[in-house]
Amino acid sequence: MSKGQTSYPFTMAEAALTFLLVLGVAYGTQGFTETFIKEELTDVQAERMRNSAMAVDSLPEGYIQINQDFSGYEYKVDGGELTVSFREENKTIDVAENVTVNNIDGPDSFTDMSNICVEKSSNTIEFRDGGC
């Protein structure tokens, strides 16, 4: 006799479909959001690598290893300039102007990044992919 009970199954179905819709939108935009954030943080990754070179430059010899999820990022070193890339986003930083050594070494073509080793030996700072 109560008319409110007839709308109860409809309300449950509506709530379930709304939940699935919200869940689908959130799941579908997750990949785009992650890519967007990585593109926006390209300059931060380049700054992190330059700061590591400046820190290791303060030592007579030694290394700093940067352990982070760099999936999708690439880097290269050309004439003292470090370029970090993610898709179409590139950031180039002149490392040579911030350190006292004469030689900045690293790959001369874009190389995938995983763990980065920044090592100083005598008069050279080298950026190397992988462990130190």
97 and 58, same structural domain?
Answer: yes
pLDDT at 4: 53
The tokens describing 55, both together, are 């820190």
57 and 106 together in one domain: yes
Q: Per-residue pLDDT for 45 more than 70?
A: yes
Question: Does 34 share its domain with 60?
Answer: no
Same domain as 68, residue 10: no
Q: Evaluate if residue 119 carries a pLDDT over 90.
A: yes
Whether 35 and 46 share a structural domain: no
Q: Which domain holds residue 22?
A: 3-39
Quick: pLDDT tens for 5-22: 555 666 777 888 888 888
